[in-house]
């Protein structure tokens, strides 16, 4: 669901402008049935390709659709995908005691700043300039060069991070989120390569999500040229784990019944975030973790805490 508010007029204006055209509404309706490229949309709407491309650009700028270039018989074609099923617009300002009144603590952790690990081939790491360590040599994960990592991959094991929590000890935490870009780890890449990826917070298993595959059909939007020319993993999907007083969600779906009380957030002045593949996982498809200079999303591992 796309959440909009009158308090963000620029974003609201872009979306309402995008939806003000009957042609663009027809485009969205066509994309309800599946992905289409610009030429297919042009044929379906019986309008010139140049006009179609202009409408696509407006929808893309409003974040209502996303596009990606894919190989075609002649050059490349731009494929369009609808982003949201629903749009919710808040027309009144938030009342007091709403979520917007909560204080916010946020910290991004570089992916190479792990404090503990277990990895197994295929494994390695890279940054914007080069492969940082020899591939498939787990001992090199102790190397100081790991701090520069922008992509880390392993077929087994885990990575563990410690986030300092610099808020008042008498604060009441209402919500804690972790987010990062991630996918499975297959030889080269394979979109049909499931992997059961588990997250632990303060050593509490908050749930397992199955990554559907390892993505490499196109270069990641942030990837350096040398990596974009390889047949390796190129991008992942941005996942958000949210722990509240009720449960744990991943994106908009309930993942488990684990609550903030279960993970004892303020018991220490840091929180431990561990992500990996269990030994008894059904799908042992490994994982790729992306930093802010690789993949599609310009962020590292992000912690966000809402409190009062």
**Band of the pLDDT at 170, cuts 50, 70, 90?**
confident
pLDDT above 70 for 282: yes
Indicate the pLDDT class of residue 251, thresholds 50, 70 and 90.
very high
- Residue 75 reports pLDDT greater than 80: no
> Distance between CA atoms of 248 and 151, rounded to whole angstroms?
27
Query: What mean pLDDT, rounded, does the chain reach?
Result: 92
d(CA 296, CA 69): 13
Stretch 206-235: mean pLDDT, rounded?
95
Closest listed residue to residue 55, CA positions, set 17, 88, 2, 10: 17
Name the residue with higher pLDDT: 296 or 90: 296
For 103-307, CATH gives 2.60.120.260
| DSSP classification of residue 145 | G
85 alpha carbon, distance to own chain's centre:
18
Residue 100 in this model has a pLDDT that exceeds 70:
no
pLDDT at 76: 77
Count the helix, strand and coil residues of the chain and give each as a percent rounded to the nearest 5: 20, 40, 40
Grade residue 84 by pLDDT with cuts at 50, 70 and 90.
confident
Give the separation between CA 240 and CA 302, rounded to whole angstroms: 9
Predicted confidence band of residue 110 (pLDDT cuts 50, 70, 90): very high
Instruction: Identify the pLDDT of residue 88.
Output: 84
In percent, how much of the chain has pLDDT > 70? 97
Domain range list for the chain: 2-90, 103-307
**Contact of 89 with 101, CB cutoff 8 Å:** no
Number of Cβ within 10 Å of residue 195's Cβ equals 26
- 121's tokens: 């081939």
Give burial (CB, 10 Å; 0-12/13-18/19+) of 223: buried
pLDDT, tens only, 11-67: 899 999 999 999 999 999 999 888 899 999 999 999 999 999 999 999 999 989 988
Average pLDDT, integer, range 186-213: 97
CATH 3.40.50.1000 fits 2-90, yes or no: no
Whether 83 and 64 have beta carbons less than 8 Å apart is answered as yes
Is pLDDT above 60 for 219? Answer: yes
Q: What's the confidence (pLDDT) of residue 97?
A: 43
Parallel, antiparallel or unpaired: strands 2-5 and 87-90: parallel
For residue 73, is pLDDT > 80?
Answer: no
Across residues 286-293, what is the average pLDDT?
97
DSSP structure class, residue 48: -
Mean pLDDT of 82-87: 83
Of all residues in the chain, the percent with pLDDT exceeding 90 is 77
**Quick one: pLDDT at residue 200?**
98
Residue with tokens 């494994």: 123
Tell me whether strands 65-71 and 76-82 are parallel, antiparallel or unpaired.
antiparallel
pLDDT tens digits along 122-161: 999 999 999 999 999 999 999 999 999 999 999 999 999 9
pLDDT tens string 226-244: 999 899 999 999 999 999 9
Query: What integer is the mean pLDDT of 259-286?
Result: 94
């Amino acid at each position: 669901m796309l959440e909009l508010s009158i308090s963000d007029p620029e974003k609201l204006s872009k979306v309402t402008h995008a939806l003000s055209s009957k042609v663009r509404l027809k485009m969205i309706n066509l994309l309800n049935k599946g992905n289409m490229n610009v030429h297919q949309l042009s044929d379906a709407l019986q309008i010139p390709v140049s006009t179609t491309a202009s409408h696509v650009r407006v929808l893309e700028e409003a974040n209502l659709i996303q596009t990606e270039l894919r190989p075609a018989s002649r050059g490349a074609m731009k494929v369009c995908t609808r982003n949201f099923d629903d749009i919710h617009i808040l027309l009144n300002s938030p009342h007091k005691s709403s979520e917007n009144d909560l204080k916010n603590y946020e910290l991004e952790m570089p992916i190479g700043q792990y404090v503990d690990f277990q990895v197994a081939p295929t494994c390695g790491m890279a940054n914007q300039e080069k492969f940082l360590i020899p591939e498939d040599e787990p001992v090199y994960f102790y190397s100081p060069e790991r701090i520069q990592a922008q992509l880390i991959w392993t077929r087994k094991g885990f990575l563990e991070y410690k986030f300092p929590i610099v808020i008042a000890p008498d604060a009441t935490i209402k919500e804690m989120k972790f987010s990062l870009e991630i996918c499975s780890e297959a030889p080269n890449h394979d979109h049909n390569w499931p992997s059961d990826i588990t997250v632990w917070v303060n050593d509490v298993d908050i749930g397992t999500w199955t990554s559907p595959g390892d993505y490499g059909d196109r270069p990641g939007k942030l990837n350096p040229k040398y990596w974009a020319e390889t047949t390796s993993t190129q991008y992942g999907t941005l996942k958000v784990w949210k722990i509240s007083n009720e449960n744990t969600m991943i994106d908009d779906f309930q993942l488990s019944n684990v609550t903030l009380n279960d993970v004892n957030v303020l018991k220490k002045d840091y929180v431990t975030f561990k992500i990996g593949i269990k030994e008894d996982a059904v799908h042992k498809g490994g994982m790729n973790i992306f930093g802010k200079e690789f993949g599609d999303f310009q962020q590292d591992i992000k912690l966000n805490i809402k409190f009062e």
